[in-house]
Structure 1
Amino acid sequence: MTVIKGTEFDVFPLNLGGNTFGWTSDREATFAVLDAFVEAGGNFVDTADSYSAWAPGNEGGESEREIGAWIKKNGADKLIIATKSGALEAVAGRSREATFQAVEGSLERLGVESIDIFYYHYDDEAVSIDEQVAIANDLIAEGKIKHLALSNYTPQRLAEFFEKSEGTPAQPVALQPHYNLLARKDYENDIQPLVDQYSVAVFPYFSLAAGLLTGKYTSKEDIAGKARAGQLEGYATDEAFAVVSELVAVAKELNAAPTTVALAWLLAHGVTAPIASVSKVEQLADLLAVKDLTLSEEHVARLDKASQSFA
């Protein structure tokens, strides 16, 4: 467990992604996953108001509603909830009106009085950083959110945000970057220096490269026709499959799943808790196992070398 600096939250080393809830997981499956996660010691769930607007028949807010239903049954004290706004069309952008409306919508769907960690999911360069900081300070002052976090900001805008918010309640306590063995360069070169400077928590998305780092796919042919084929194809190169091959080799030596090793590599690189999601309880074990796996310096170095072309 790791305390997020600037907060009272001591989080499990896996941030359970809620993007499947209300999409590939119906209510029964969602409740089963959350029950198993909590029973295993998990306590931190990530969602967004836009999950899962991309699915046919959905409008967004489905994930928050499912989590809210679970909270209503089990109590709000079991989970730390992070949610995000900025991508849902009806309340897109970072204007004061859109952001306040988005927060109210999330509060209602989740059935809570205050959001534990609220992300600005995307930047809006039409809204100044000064105004974005002011909006967050007001949300915190009104008790609607407890802490602010950021995702999908350029390094320049991130640096400005930290500079303008430093010492205020709106100073971000966490970042959610795109980071994994096959996506290293942007984070390690441009974002990690800010993480180190401000001692901010890191919860990366696409921790498993849309599933490529589970070791299930060893060629482009394996990907064809899969549900996540579009996302997977963005990673599927000869260089990527070489990394997967080394990942599988390390996993075999450790008698662990490649999924677990890929997440452990992120923890070895200073990540607070990688985000990963499942649709069924049976998929959860390999994620939860990361709490008991610490990679040796040798194994970290091997994976670093294998993925050097992505750094």
Structure 2
Amino acid sequence: MRYTTFGRSTGLRVSEFALGTSNFGAGVGDSDDARRLLWGRRGDGSGREECRRVFDRFAEAGGTLLDTADSAQFGEAETLLGEFLAADRDHFVVSTKYTNSASTRPRISDTGNSRKNMIRSVEGSLRRLGTDYIDLYWAHFPDGLTPAEEILAAIDHLVSSGKILYAGLSNFPAWRVSRAVTIAELRGWSPIVAVQTEYNLVNRTGERELLPMADALGLGAALWSPLAGGLLTGKYRRTEQGWVSEENRRHPRNDTDRIAEIVSTVLDVAEETGMSPSQVSLAWLRNRAAGAATAYIPIIGPRTGEQLDHYLEALTTSLSGEQAARLDKASAIEPGSPHEITGLVRESLLGGDSSRVDDASPPVA
């Protein structure tokens, strides 16, 4: 396991993989309300013993960054994580989130990004985690209501009180993040230091705005669902009913020719290298991280110790330039507006010779 600072705006050192703990806990999900809130799942997390194996194995491999949320398994994930952390809390970087509530029956005051809910939520997370501080605290989703100034002022209060050390925005659009970064800078408040977003071979839309913004502003980027919800493990096959696994579980991704080409290319590269499709997909992410101007940290979320061992093997594997290029080509996205037209204008202005301009990301002021 290698280590990096989490972005250019902090000295916070983290492992190159984060352990996602949304699968920590199997004692919830029995009610209809719980099932709906678990994104259609039936509380299919792992039991305590298996979670302990995953945690210990990640720590033995040198992993330090742990990612959870108050809503993960309705608070059970934080509770288990707190139990496992107790012997060596300060060694680890604990990352958790608020917005959605840990309750199976959330009320109007239990959700959203208001100062009231942030203070209430952080106290609940501290209690479940059995700690007096959280290393990295995230607003999990934008609620469409709370002003950025209110979120930032509440974060600044929590940092000043020592209850959190750093803060980030998860699943926020780039314009909201960049505005929040600027407001915090101008007012002298505690900064936003990181973003969290889905990023994988199937979903590369972060390349349009979010990741270039993170590169330019020096924000760390935590990347969830690196295996596209299991689609990039190779266990799903394309059928007339869409993508279906051997267990007859249907994948929620839309069935497109692009996805079929991506999965096919991943399987081809896996056969050539002797790697699994999962390892190929993680190796591709590590390639992207190596070329970034800031820290890209994939969040792996194994359910078992065996799955974790398998994912960790990707740390010792690599792709050839030709293989990485094939995966890039198969998974490429349309740049969209305004990037398409500005690319054409730039090419016209340079007479087709793009080598005349330095493409490096702008430095942080």
Return the offset for 1:237. 3.1
Distance (whole Å) between structure 2 residues aligned to residue 160 and residue 302 of structure 1? 36
Q: Which residue of 2 aligns with 1:278?
A: 302
Return the offset for 1:139. 0.7
Q: Is the 8 A contact 1:260 1:290 kept in 2?
A: yes
Superposition map of 1:164-183 within 5 A: 164-166=183-185, 168=188, 170-183=190-203
Q: TM-score, normalised by structure 1?
A: 0.90
Is 1:83 aligned with 2:96?
A: yes
Q: Which residue of 1 aligns with 2:40?
A: none
Q: Is the 8 A contact 1:218 1:245 kept in 2?
A: no
Distance (whole Å) between structure 1 residues aligned to residue 317 and residue 115 of structure 2? 43
Return the offset for 1:302. 0.7
Distance (whole Å) between structure 1 residues aligned to residue 81 and residue 334 of structure 2? 35
The worse-fitting range, judged by mean Cα deviation, of 298-307 and 8-17 is 8-17
Is 1:153 aligned with 2:177?
A: no
The worse-fitting range, judged by mean Cα deviation, of 101-110 and 195-204 is 195-204
Counterpart secondary structure, 1:204: strand
Q: Is the 8 A contact 1:208 1:263 kept in 2?
A: yes
Percent identity of the aligned residues?
35
Matched residue type, 1:70: F
Q: Deviations over 1:254-286 (max 9, x none)?
A: 222211221222222236211121111111122
Q: Which runs of 5+ in 2 are unaligned?
A: 27-44, 290-294, 336-365
Among residues 209, 214, 228, which one is paired with 1:190 in the alignment? Answer: 209
Among residues 4, 15, 19, which one is paired with 2:18 in the alignment? Answer: 15
Matched residue type, 1:303: L
Q: Deviations over 1:231-265 (max 9, x none)?
A: x2325433212211111211222222211221222
- 4+ residue segments displaced more than 6 Å: none
Counterpart secondary structure, 2:223: coil
Distance (whole Å) between structure 1 residues aligned to residue 313 and residue 238 of structure 2? 26
Return the offset for 1:37. 0.9
Q: Is the 8 A contact 1:14 1:287 kept in 2?
A: no
Q: Is the 8 A contact 1:215 1:248 kept in 2?
A: yes
Matched residue type, 2:78: E
Distance (whole Å) between structure 2 residues aligned to residue 273 and residue 299 of structure 1? 22
Superposition map of 1:1-311 within 5 A: 1-5=3-7, 6-23=9-26, 24-52=45-73, 60-72=74-86, 74-88=87-101, 89-90=106-107, 91-166=110-185, 168=188, 170-185=190-205, 187-220=206-239, 223=244, 226=247, 229=250, 232-270=251-289, 272-309=296-333
Matched residue type, 1:284: L
Greater RCO (Cα-Cα under 8 Å, separation 6 or more): 1
Distance (whole Å) between structure 2 residues aligned to residue 14 and residue 224 of structure 1? 26
| Structure 1 pair 309–284 and aligned structure 2 pair: CA distance change class (3 A) | same
Q: Which runs of 5+ in 1 are unaligned?
A: 53-59
Q: TM-score, normalised by structure 2?
A: 0.77
Q: Is the 8 A contact 1:68 1:109 kept in 2?
A: yes
Distance (whole Å) between structure 2 residues aligned to residue 228 and residue 70 of structure 1? 32
Q: Deviations over 1:77-127 (max 9, x none)?
A: 342111000011353111111000100000000011110111110113322
| Structure 1 pair 225–265 and aligned structure 2 pair: CA distance change class (3 A) | closer
The worse-fitting range, judged by mean Cα deviation, of 129-138 and 1-10 is 1-10
Matched residue type, 2:300: A
Q: Is the 8 A contact 1:180 1:266 kept in 2?
A: yes
Equivalent pairs counted in the alignment come to: 300
Matched residue type, 2:72: Y
Of the two, which has the highest radius of gyration? Answer: 2
Q: Is the 8 A contact 1:218 1:244 kept in 2?
A: no
Distance (whole Å) between structure 2 residues aligned to residue 175 and residue 83 of structure 1? 13
Return the offset for 1:310. 6.7
Distance (whole Å) between structure 2 residues aligned to residue 17 and residue 227 of structure 1? 25
Distance (whole Å) between structure 1 residues aligned to residue 228 and residue 210 of structure 2? 19
